[in-house]
A and B are shown apart, each in its own frame.
Chain A
């Protein structure tokens, strides 16, 4: 495997311009969609089959309901080291590249939609036109030709950075220290730790507060971790059912019957 590539999104630098979202649409030739009015600057409300990059807007309020801080964050597929979509996919359409990214082979996907519900971040979307599941590829065609992903190239503030994972992780840690010195005491990295949740995210973030402010799960869990325990409980109940049938059909019914 080649050296792992990663994307580092520094929320403290994001100005919410959505250049990344537009660049993504243009490079990947994703059709326009009707805007959704949700009472926020954010459009769309969720990732869709035509929106792989999404700038999210969050209004953090204090206990009295007064606006405390306006957060904006450019969200993307995390290309998890332990990916729920990849483990769920029954066709093998979802695969890991030599750079550690997670892609969906559009020629293999048969549209079962299991990955859509297995993603802990709601990234994978179903495309009704092609009948397949789609998501961000880190611009697979670009990164295999030495160009960074379109979103990182377009970002005017370098809020989105792309490169080798180990190098980016070092820069990210430095940046957290800088921000803490400047008084952002809740600044923290999300998904940088390869020993952390999901084995680390290959698109990791610098957040200015708790992950839940940004709508992210505090401790994302690989759904497939349930399979063994759930299967054992099923086997236990199968034994009970089998035993019940043996007892029921062993017994002679003396009171009724023939």
Chain B
């Protein structure tokens, strides 16, 4: 009876798409920053493409979020209101008209999205100017790259923490959604860079193989986080958890979960890479594996959100 009482936000596909693109942007940005820090010249292709992808992937983010609001013209209220109320929660920080609620992942996420977007724009602009024959402002790229990297991690993980802070049975008893979403962001960010580099016929065959080595590692983490998520939910034993989990694993969403998120999204690309893909880094194989990782990365977020929201 208990869970029948609960309501759902009924966030539509727009939000799943934002969660996927935000994670992808964050992941691509972090990879570009780390490659840039290690050897900016050797990994030039990865850095350029990572920063471009991060910038392009985050552009639809705010639009998707604003369109989904009940009153889109009030989107700024996520960060500021002209006359704030006094008691708006135990974790609220207010400065003038601005507010940040540390225990509300949506509030923190709105600020992180702003911070990330600024960094992604600055770094992408720097890369663009360099591509046009100008000189890179390496200090700016370094500072915005590192700060944006932290925001990038945050952007990938916070949707999972946000879901965990709802009363939906599948979400409230899971503690691994933030970690899962973060590694999905990492794998899809890496896959997006690899896909485009291999389609462009990049000469940087070596950096492509290193990129695939990283995504293979991220996929293993993704599998582990997914398993930990299911085990934690199963063991929580809270009311309504059996039905909620059954929707995901055996019910209407099971095909998308097992075939889409697990087999197509993790097992096949991992097998492709471990079975010789990494060593040779054949562009066709890399492109195929990357495309599958991207499909799986979207599906795993979509299917968990859909199953958790279904009543």
Binding site for B on A (CB under 8 A): 46-47, 58, 82, 84, 86-96, 105, 108-114, 116-128, 130-133, 212, 215-218, 221, 223-224, 226-227, 229-231, 233-234, 236-238, 240-242, 244-253, 255-258
Q: Which residue of A lies closest to B82 (CB)?
A: A108
Inter-chain CA distance A251–B209, complex, in Å, is: 10
In the complex, which residue of chain B has the Cβ closest to the Cβ of A239? B153
- A230: which B residues are within 8 A, CB to CB? 160-161, 164-165, 175-179
B residues near A, CB below 8 A? 1-2, 4-11, 30-31, 34-35, 38-39, 43, 68-72, 74-75, 77-78, 81, 84-92, 94, 99, 101, 103-107, 110, 153, 157-158, 160-162, 164-168, 172, 175-179, 181-183, 186, 203-207, 209-211, 213-214, 217-218, 221, 225, 239, 278-281, 309
B164 contacts A116, C-beta separation under 8 Å: no
Interchain CA distance A91-B80 in the complex, whole Å: 7
**Chain A nearest CB: distance from B197 CB in Å?**
13
A245 partner, pick from B85, B176, B214, beta carbons under 8 A:
B214
Beta-carbon nearest neighbor of A125 in chain B: B7
Report A-chain residues with C-beta under 8 Å of the C-beta of B280: 256
Q: Which residue of A lies closest to B157 (CB)?
A: A234
Chain A residues with Cβ below 8 Å from B86 are 95
When the two chains form their complex, are residues B165 and A88 in contact, meaning their CB atoms are under 8 A apart?
A: yes
Q: Which residues of B contact A240 (CB under 8 A)?
A: 183, 221
The answer to whether A251 touches B34 (Cβ under 8 A) is no
Quick one: which of B104, B172, B209 contacts A90, CB cutoff 8 A? B104
Contact at B69–A216, with CB atoms within 8 Å?
no
Task: Check if A95 sits within 8 Å of B87, measured CB to CB.
Answer: yes
Given contacts A87-B89, A88-B104, 19 further A-B contacts (CB under 8 A): A95-B88, A110-B78, A111-B74, A112-B70, A113-B10, A122-B6, A131-B70, A132-B70, A215-B2, A215-B5, A217-B5, A227-B105, A234-B157, A237-B183, A241-B30, A241-B182, A248-B217, A253-B279, A258-B203
Which residue among A46, A124, A237 has the maximum number of chain B CB atoms within 10 Å of its CB? A237
Once A234-B157, A241-B218 are accepted as A-B contacts, the answer to whether A246 and B34 lie under 8 Å apart by CB is yes
B104 touches A84 (CB 8 A): no
Helix, strand, loop or mixed for chain B's interface? helix
Kindly identify which residue among A118, A223, A234 contacts B182, using a CB–CB cutoff of 8 Å: A234
**Residues of B contacting A111 in the complex (Cβ-Cβ under 8 angstroms):** 69-71, 74
Q: Could you tell me the distance between the alpha carbons of A230 and B154 in the complex, rounded to whole angstroms? A: 12
Complexed CA–CA distance, A91 and B179 (Å): 26
Give the distance in Å from the alpha carbon of A236 to the alpha carbon of B206 in the complex: 29
CA distance A241 to B188 in the complex (A): 13
C-alpha spacing A237/B146, complex, angstroms: 18
Q: Which chain A positions have C-beta within 8 A of B39? A: 249
Contact between B214 and A131, CB atoms less than 8 A apart? no
B7 touches A122 (CB 8 A): yes
A251 near B178 with CB under 8 A, answer no
User: Is A121 a contact of B5 with CB atoms below 8 Å?
Assistant: yes
- Within the assembled complex, what's the spacing in Å between the Cα atoms of A229 and B227? 18
CA of A185 to CA of B179, assembled, Å: 47
Q: What residues of A have a CB within 8 angstroms of the CB of B92 in the complex?
A: 92
With both beta carbons as reference points, the residue of chain A lying nearest to B1 in the complex is identified as A215
Q: Which residues of B contact A231 (CB under 8 A)?
A: 157, 161, 178
A253 touching B34 by the CB < 8 A rule?
no
Residue from A86, A90, A238 in contact with B157 in the complex, judged by beta carbons closer than 8 Å? A238
Cβ–Cβ < 8 Å partners of B167 in chain A: 84, 117-120, 122, 221, 223
- Chain A minimum-CB-distance residue to B38: A249
CB distance from B208 to the nearest CB of A (A): 8
| A245–B160 alpha-carbon span in the complex (Å) | 22
